[in-house]
Amino acid sequence: MSLQIKTTFFRQSSDGQELDWIDRRRIPIQKSNITCSPTIVQDTPHHLSQEQVTFLNRGPTYVPSCQIHILSKSSLVLAQIVTKQMAPLQRELSKLFIKYPIDLSRQMHFENGIEQLFNKSFLQPIPSVLEERALYEKQLILSIRYQLNKDQLILRRTADEMNTYYLGRLNEFNQKSNEYIQNSTCYELIETINEINTEQQQLEGIIQSIDLQLEILYQRKLIKEDHLIRLSIGKKTNINLPYLYFLPETNENIHMSVQPRLSSCQHCPIYTLATYLNQFLRPLFDNFSRSTTFLNGGDFIQKLQYYCLQLDLLLPKTYFATFKIHDLYTKISHSALLEALNIFLMNPLVNGQHKKLSSDAIQELTAIVLQNNVFSYNGKIYRFI
């Protein structure tokens, strides 16, 4: 089947060597002829040098070496950077020891050992060869950023999470991103951010609303005092709204579309409550759906053998099918989600296993999460609906 391709596509080999030009505006080509580099899809002409393209062909998973060592020649500043880099690891260790407590002296010995190894890895001088390479790659990255900005191009990892870059026109990418928001039926605009209505003011309003709803549930005796203390967020610091961004996606016809992604939600207003509900409900759901869920390839083989040998259900007329549901969250309303949750909690296999909270309490808490699932994008605040 021949396809009329519309824009210019430049294909590059993994080592940066030019393979061919395909004019997608004029030449009908076979679908099987459409190919691209394993690491970069170039959807526009550009002025990047061969050296720069070769570097990009390493893909987004490539990490330039020893960049932290060349941020500053001062050992004091470097130590401050390393301390900042160590902080997330320390937080994860604290969570781990809360979940799996051990003797305090052993815990401190382990944490001190990890910190010493971390500091030793980053604070000791690097060989001159590595330093030269780090400086070279830093300058190369800066030159790529300059050229992309000058030519109004965008370089993004593709939405399929593969080791692939997409290189395209910035204005086209921004236009498709804005159109996605405008045409989507799963977001509603809450507020436009400006000097009068700041994002911080909106965030404080959301925090107060969540805490008020939790207080009401406590007064109704749906949650206990320890739940109220644990789930309230008014006294927490470092809370912010996640922001929406887009990644490019190319289909088999190499037409670029965009897919939405949210930044890390670990500091968003609903994170504490959503995490608690997930930890509470996930084991119940996993146990309930175990017979119809494949955990991995080995689990699939075992269940297929049981289906074929024990149940004797594999027949010549048996068909295997896969389903892909696009934008599932746009097709299910909040009310439908809560109704499905209620049916699940009332199931005899589940009912009675959530003694810490009643079914009504779980649904009310879930509703709070759904109502306050907000994010920022391009100077505006939206809510999932």
Residue 32 has pLDDT above 80, yes or no: no
List 383's β-bridge partners, or say none.
188, 374
Q: Which two tokens stand for residue 280?
A: 């509470």
Residue 137 has pLDDT above 80, yes or no: yes
Given a contact cutoff of 8 angstroms between Cβ atoms, the answer to whether 281 and 362 are in contact is yes
d(CA 79, CA 122): 9
DSSP 8-state class, residue 306? I
d(CA 100, CA 225): 25
- The whole-number pLDDT of residue 318 equals 84
Confidence of residue 52 (pLDDT cuts 50, 70, 90): very high
Per DSSP bridges, beta strands 40-42 and 165-169 are: parallel
Alpha helices, H only, the chain? 50-56, 75-99, 104-123, 128-151, 170-183, 199-219, 225-231, 271-288, 297-305, 328-331, 334-346, 359-371
Higher local confidence (pLDDT), 16 or 304: 304
Over residues 307-346, the pLDDT tens digits come to 888 777 888 888 888 777 766 766 788 888 899 998 988 8
d(CA 345, CA 322): 28
List 174's β-bridge partners, or say none.
none
d(CA 138, CA 333): 48
pLDDT, average across residues 32-58: 76
Listed residue (45, 38, 368) closest to 233, CA to CA: 368
- The whole-number pLDDT of residue 130 equals 86
- The whole-number pLDDT of residue 31 equals 35
Given a contact cutoff of 8 angstroms between Cβ atoms, the answer to whether 241 and 374 are in contact is yes
- The whole-number pLDDT of residue 171 equals 94
pLDDT, average across residues 47-76: 82
The top-scoring range by mean pLDDT among 140-149, 180-189, 327-336 is 140-149
- The whole-number pLDDT of residue 76 equals 64
Residue 190 has pLDDT above 60, yes or no: yes
Look at residue 4 and give its three-state secondary structure: strand
Confidence of residue 177 (pLDDT cuts 50, 70, 90): very high
- The whole-number pLDDT of residue 143 equals 95
Least confident piece of the model among 143-152, 305-314, 358-367: 305-314
Residue 78 has pLDDT above 80, yes or no: no
Confidence of residue 274 (pLDDT cuts 50, 70, 90): very high
d(CA 194, CA 383): 18
Average pLDDT, the chain: 82
pTM as predicted: 0.71
Q: Which two tokens stand for residue 258?
A: 């965009």
Listed residue (12, 3, 42) closest to 250, CA to CA: 42
Residue 16 has pLDDT above 70, yes or no: no
Confidence of residue 74 (pLDDT cuts 50, 70, 90): low
H or E element, residue 248: strand 244-250
Given a contact cutoff of 8 angstroms between Cβ atoms, the answer to whether 43 and 168 are in contact is yes
Residue 217 has pLDDT above 50, yes or no: yes
- The whole-number pLDDT of residue 213 equals 95
Residue 17 has pLDDT above 50, yes or no: no
Residue 29 has pLDDT above 50, yes or no: no
Listed residue (269, 211, 261) closest to 241, CA to CA: 269
Over residues 95-120, the pLDDT tens digits come to 888 888 888 889 899 988 988 888 88
Least confident piece of the model among 12-16, 57-61, 134-138, 359-363: 12-16
pLDDT, average across residues 207-230: 93
Higher local confidence (pLDDT), 100 or 254: 100
- The whole-number pLDDT of residue 369 equals 94
